[in-house]
A and B are shown apart, each in its own frame.
Chain A
Amino acid sequence: MTDSGNHAENSGNSENSVLTPFNMVAGMILIVGIVVTILRFTKGLGSVTNLSDYNPWGIWIGFDLLVGVALAAGGYVTSAAVYIFGMKRYHSAVRPAVLTGFLGYALVVVALHYDVGRPWRLPYPFIIQQGTTSVLFEVGACVALYLSVLFLEYSPAALEWLGLKRARNLAVKLTLVLTIFGVVLSTLHQSSLGALFLIAPSKLHPLWYSSYIPIYFFVTSIIAGLSMVIFESTLSHRYFHDKMDATHLEENPHVTLGFGKAASLILAGYFIIKVIGLAADNNWHYLGTGYGAWYLVEMLGFVALPALMYAVGVREKNLGIIRGTAAWTVLGIVVNRFNIGLIAFNYHLPKSERYFPHWMEIAISLFVVTVGVLVFRFIVTRMPIFYEHPDYEDSH
């Protein structure tokens, strides 16, 4: 902090606002990301990843796709709560959640361009030849459609910013239809991301493989969405407090309490259906193994514990506990998706054949997240996300 203070004295305030520590770190990540991008598209996946014939999917799928889509669930969860379930006092949470979701999905698609061999062929499954027997076809179709839905759901903010009144009013009229469409598509592809692994019972450890895995993925996406809305609003309050209007500031504690309560209940329900799955497949004996210990860490540390802490936070009306639990739950989603996509996958292989990401894979994942944060900042500092545009106040 003192460094940047000195810097301000030396070179003036205008430059200081650009050369903040955050911007410098972000800039470095972007430069490394661009270099690795060039390597990826000139030398191939082999030179920048540790992927192999045994491990065709690494963190670009495990993190960028599986975690990215789960954490972008805040959009459908919040808009469903407000527009379908009629919880209107959370209205000010819709726009930040939809924006986070839209950017999340957009970046998932960007990240996929690195991972697949011939990214320009990504539309082939829809326009050339349809592999309708594939779960991945369903994922692809739903993600493509839902990205469009999120774009339309986000568009009123951009259109208000651009002053295009008629287009904005038209987009707002679509709200309910888009919300319902969004929930349908999210139900399908959030669950299908889990269903991708149904085809490989011999490769995914029995503690994580279950015929219920699509349901587990769908339920955890709701938990991820609720927690991510709280987590994102915690960060936004720290950095974009000045952009928020009175309504947003006044409603935020209600959003945190309400979403924390919902997350606690759904985590508890998820714990129960996980135990049911364990019992249905009679997998109790695996709990005594090394994988069993790690499974218990996930179940007790990242499911039972946050369920309890959310409940305590809501009971005590302690926003600090709820916000901390939200961050912990987001980490729990990362742990769960990593377990299924990477850690418990290929559990049968010898250690020498197991996957660990190359630093350049991590660099691209960081690059994608950084781009997301920068675009989020660009949009919320310009468009009516945390406040209502003066021309459209009380128009909803």
Chain B
Amino acid sequence: MTISRRRFLGWVGGAAGAGMAVGHRARAATTHEFEGYPDAMGVLFDNHRCIGCRRCEAACNRVNDLPAPDQPFDDLKVLEKQRRTDYRSFTVVNQYANGGQPEAPVFRKIQCNHCKEPACASACFVGAFTKTPSGAVTYDASVCVGCRYCMIACPFEIPAYEYDEPLTPRVRKCTMCHPRISKGQLPGCVEVCPTESLLFGKREDLIAIARQRIRNHPDRYVDHIYGEHEMGGTNWLYLSKAPFHEVGMREDLGTTPAPALTAPALGAVPIIVGLWPVLLTGIYAINRRKEKIARSEQEAAVAEAVEQTKANAADKFALAMAKAEQDKTETVEREVKKALEEAAKEQEAGDDATPQSEEDLS
């Protein structure tokens, strides 16, 4: 393996920290606003024009070299049940009953919406997704680990996975035909659409066109361009003749771009890395100091106690010594006195009678 430009940039990005990746790939821990690439392309899907012929599905399958489907693309029975994108189909067309006009069902084409700030790209921990200046969100299987966090993150439930590949599974999704539009061609689905339900162009122009259509036919369309602001805006835009939630499109996604949802949590990382060691070392130091003070206080108390005991012992000793001395003197004196008395008695014994000595003894 040689060092590719991408890998080199990866190292540089790693060395320079998060800042390098911000703005190009997705928004991270920053308040920086990304308005979207100015000349980014997009596609406008107008379900008023769609007839559910599935030719876009067939074209998508062909230009992307995808595996053949179970049922051929001209089999319209497929439309009877709801489908989603999977590893064999980057786009599917679903049919919905039209409440107002049951005889004219509504069709919805599903594919990657190519968010201005894509959830998948922000969520990918190996940077396998890229928001290109052309507007397309592309995927690089050569770095993908296969964690499937992009599939968790995508609010439109687009990325699919090759679950039956044991060792080389890829995430699969529409690339807005990035290789084709880079060569000046139209995306496969747009090129083949017989009713011009799909319109490829600059995102800004498409929004103007969509608004004009709503103005011209206020009775025909719901007054909303889906994708103008959803999840921070997408490059694939939708006009609908039925309320969007009736054609399976969520209206509760909000307008916050996905990267902004995780930015505050990621922003806390450097603060914790910086602050925690200081706090924890401080707690450790406080505890150590407390222990040290407690120990020295204990030592002082013990020393004092020993000193006290020693002093007491010395006093006692001195007292005992003095007492012993006194005792000794007294004993000597007593013995001397006794001896003297005995001597005196012996002297008297010769002269006096026995009763006197009996009296002395009692």
Contact = CB atoms under 8 A, between A and B. Distances in A.
A43 B145 contact: no
Contacts of A179: 280
A369 to B, nearest CB: 22
Interface string B244-255: 000000101110
Given A44-B163, A118-B167, A184-B272, A129 B6 contact: yes
A131 B152 contact: no
Nearest to B283: A84
Nearest to A121: B145
A25 to B, nearest CB: 29
Contacts of A158: none
A116 B166 CA distance: 10
Contacts of B291: 86
Given A53-B84, A202-B155, A134 B123 contact: yes
Contacts of B160: 53
A188 B266 contact: no
A51 B163 contact: yes
A44 B170 CA distance: 12
Interface in B133-163: 143-149, 151-153, 155, 157, 159-163
A128 B276 contact: no
Contacts of B268: 191, 214
Interface string A155-186: 00000000000000000000010011001100
A199 B119 contact: yes
B281 interface: yes
B219 to A, nearest CB: 31
Contacts of B84: 53-54
A123 B290 CA distance: 44
B127 interface: yes
A135 B166 contact: no
A53 B149 contact: no
B7 A124 contact: no
Contacts of B281: 180
B208 interface: no
Interface stretch (A98-106, A136-144, A319-327, A379-387): A136-144
A183 B278 CA distance: 12
Contacts of A132: 13-14, 17-18, 20-21, 28
Contact of B284 (A84, A137, A202, A203): A84
A335 interface: no
A337 B248 CA distance: 29
A46 B163 contact: yes
Contact of A86 (B6, B87, B258, B290): B290
Contacts of A271: none
Given A56-B151, A56-B161, A188-B269, A117 B125 contact: no
Given A133-B28, A214-B265, A125 B167 contact: no
A122 interface: yes
B287 A187 contact: no
A61 B151 CA distance: 14
B298 to A, nearest CB: 15
Interface centre among B163, B252, B253 (most CB of A within 10 A): B163
A138 B258 CA distance: 17
Contact of B152 (A85, A115, A195, A199): A199
Contacts of A128: 7, 10, 126, 143
A45 B87 CA distance: 14
Q: Is the interface of A mostly helix, strand, loop or mixed?
A: helix
A126 B14 CA distance: 8
B144 A138 contact: no
A200 B126 contact: no
Contacts of B176: none
A57 interface: yes
B103 interface: no
A62 to B, nearest CB: 12
Nearest to B154: A200
Given A128-B126, A131-B124, A44 B21 contact: no
A: contact size bracket: 35 or more
Contacts of B145: 116-119, 121-122, 124-125
Contact of B148 (A57, A119, A188): A57
A32 to B, nearest CB: 19
Nearest to A350: B82
Given A45-B169, A202-B155, A125 B126 contact: yes
Contacts of B152: 56-57, 196-197, 199-200, 203
Contacts of A51: 161, 163
A318 interface: no
A47 interface: yes
A53 B266 contact: no
A373 interface: no
A137 B151 contact: no
Nearest to A213: B265
A149 B119 CA distance: 32
Contacts of B250: 202, 348
A118 B125 contact: no
B190 interface: no
B264 interface: yes
A200 B144 CA distance: 21
Interface centre among A53, A54, A122, by most chain B C-beta atoms within 10 angstroms, is A53
A130 B262 contact: no
B273 interface: yes
A130 B261 contact: no
B146 A124 contact: no
Nearest to B10: A129
A295 interface: no
B315 to A, nearest CB: 39
Nearest to A183: B280
B215 interface: no
Interface in B47-92: 84-87
Given A53-B159, A86-B290, A117-B146, 18 more contacts: A44-B169, A46-B163, A54-B157, A84-B287, A116-B148, A117-B144, A117-B162, A117-B169, A121-B126, A129-B143, A131-B21, A131-B126, A134-B122, A136-B149, A195-B262, A201-B261, A202-B253, A214-B268
> Which 6 A-B pairs have CB atoms at the shortest separation, nearest pair first?
A117-B146, A86-B287, A46-B163, A56-B148, A129-B10, A56-B151
